[in-house]
């Protein structure tokens, strides 16, 4: 019923029903693939709105945030704004874990980054004096990297407006990963850059380099979280990466992938992580890592052959992986499902990304599933109306 509410709009080669749930002239997107975009009922979908593209955000640029009603002709309800955002991950907009009605996002106020929590039914709002990146599944705590340093060293992932006070410091001791109590608002520096930078990195050259953290994500149980340690110096052609895990208290750090090229990842369960990475056994592939061990297994080596934004569909017993690709030679981004039981790959659609969508302001599809696993939403530019949100029906594809 939800998926038949509007006319179908398909990407090239689509094998599943796809339709737009936003439209121009303004541009709409959500950003990263590991946040709750759908509410607990699968009726409301979060999105961000902006009136320009193809340039970096400026400190004065604000985006509008809204909620799309899939059962009321995709009606947009405005819920707030943010001045702390980027093209790849937006403002960390998401439904607050453990809550049916609360939404959280990052903003900037009085020279610092903060997070807003709003009840979309009552309108009640509160401000936490720190930004968030990953939120524990119980919704009570969050961790976040230094967005100022991200903006300096990895534009497209940090926020404009507050300069990095450690701009020339290679491994600061007074910045890193912060841990925030979302009930009391108390924040503490939990993992300094210097602590991780000083951990031995056999086979990797991390000297004379600027260090930063990115991509944090709690396990389904909330007992541990992942983060990426990255660095780059004049001796490197591109940044180097290690994947680490830590417990919920930001202790018991473990280097899970030490080989220098970890990219996109997702927790399969509270002990295993799927990630695109390099491993000496088979090169650049998707691998399943067992936390706090050296156990590694290659996944879909002949089907999932390129890097993508991967998740496991809920309510399928971790059988189905939802994934995508970067644009190929024809500028097509391929969204698909992979059946871990049979090794079968199911194409969902090939979505054109015009050449002007590149670099910092590229528009990755970042497929995000609904709570039921019956639907997914992507960001795409294939229709010629700028970046918009598109709903994909997954039911026939997974049987």
- pLDDT, one tens digit per residue, over 35-69 is 999 999 999 999 999 999 999 999 999 999 999 99
Edge-to-edge strand list for the sheet holding 368-369: 18-20, 388-393, 375-380, 368-369
At 13 the pLDDT is: 59
Torsions phi, psi for 243 (to 5 deg):
-100, 125
Question: DSSP secondary-structure letter at 139?
Answer: S
Is-above-0.75 flag for pTM? Answer: yes
What pLDDT is stored for residue 6 in this prediction? 33
For position 9, what pLDDT does the model report? 44
Report which of 275, 355, 368 is spatially closest to residue 313, judged by C-alpha positions: 368
Q: Rounded to an integer, what distance in angstroms lies between the CA atom of residue 126 and that of residue 115? A: 9
Q: Which two tokens stand for residue 167?
A: 């701009």
Q: How many CA atoms lie within 13 A of 206 on its CB side?
A: 24
Give the residue ranges of the chain where pLDDT is below 50: 1-10
User: 234 CB contacts (<8 Å, ≥6 apart)?
Assistant: 208
Helices (H), 143-246: 147-153, 193-197
Query: Pairing mode, if any, of strands 44-50 and 63-69?
Result: antiparallel
DSSP for 216-277 reads EEE-TTSSEEEEEEEEE-TT-SS-EEEEEEEETTS-S-EEEEEEE----EEESSSSEEEEEE
Which pLDDT value is given to residue 11? 56
Supply the pLDDT for residue 3.
40
Half-sphere exposure of 386 (CA within 13 A, CB side): 15
Q: What is the pLDDT of residues 14-29, one digit of tens each?
A: 578 999 999 999 999 9
> Tell me, what's the pLDDT at 399?
81
Note the pLDDT of residue 207.
85
**With contact defined as beta carbons under 8 Å apart, do 117 and 93 qualify?**
no
What order do you get walking across the sheet with 141-144 strand by strand?
Answer: 134-135, 141-144, 176-181, 187-192
């Amino acid at each position: 019923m939800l998926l038949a509410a509007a006319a179908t709009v398909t990407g090239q080669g689509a094998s599943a029903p796809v339709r737009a749930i936003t439209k121009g002239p303004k541009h709409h997107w959500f950003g990263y693939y590991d946040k709750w975009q759908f509410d607990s009922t699968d009726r409301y979908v979060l999105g961000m709105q902006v009136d320009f593209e193809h340039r970096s955000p400026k400190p004065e640029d604000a985006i509008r945030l809204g909620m799309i009603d899939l059962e009321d002709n995709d009606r947009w309800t405005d819920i707030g704004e943010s001045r702390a955002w980027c093209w790849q991950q937006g403002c960390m907009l998401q439904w607050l874990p453990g809550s049916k009605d609360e939404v959280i996002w990052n903003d900037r106020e009085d020279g610092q980054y903060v997070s807003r929590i709003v009840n979309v039914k009552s309108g009640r709002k509160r401000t936490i004096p720190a930004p968030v990146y990953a939120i524990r599944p119980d919704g009570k705590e969050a961790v976040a990297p230094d967005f100022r340093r991200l903006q300096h060293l990895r534009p497209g992932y940090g926020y404009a407006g507050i300069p990095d006070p450690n701009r020339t410091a290679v491994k600061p001791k007074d910045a890193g990963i912060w841990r925030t109590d979302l009930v009391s608002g108390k924040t503490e520096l939990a993992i300094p850059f210097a602590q991780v930078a000083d951990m031995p990195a056999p086979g990797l050259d991390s000297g004379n380099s600027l260090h930063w953290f990115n991509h944090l994500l709690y396990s389904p149980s909330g007992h541990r979280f992942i983060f990426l340690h990255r660095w780059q110096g004049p001796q490197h052609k591109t940044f180097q990466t290690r994947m680490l895990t830590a417990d919920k208290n930001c202790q018991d750090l473990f280097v899970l992938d030490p080989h220098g090229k970890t990219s996109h990842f997702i927790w399969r369960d509270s002990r295993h992580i799927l990630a695109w990475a390099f491993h000496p056994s088979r090169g650049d592939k998707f691998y399943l890592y067992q936390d706090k061990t050296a156990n590694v297994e290659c996944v879909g080596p002949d089907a999932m052959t390129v890097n993508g934004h991967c998740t496991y569909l809920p309510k399928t017993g971790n059988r189905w992986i939802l994934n995508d690709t970067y644009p190929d030679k024809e500028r097509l981004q391929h969204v698909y499902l992979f059946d871990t039981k049979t090794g079968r790959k199911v194409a969902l659609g090939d979505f054109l990304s015009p050449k002007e969508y590149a670099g910092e302001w590229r528009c990755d599809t970042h497929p995000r599933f609904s709570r039921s696993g019956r639907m997914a939403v992507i960001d795409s530019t294939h229709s010629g109306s700028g970046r918009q949100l598109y709903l994909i029906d997954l039911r026939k594809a997974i049987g």
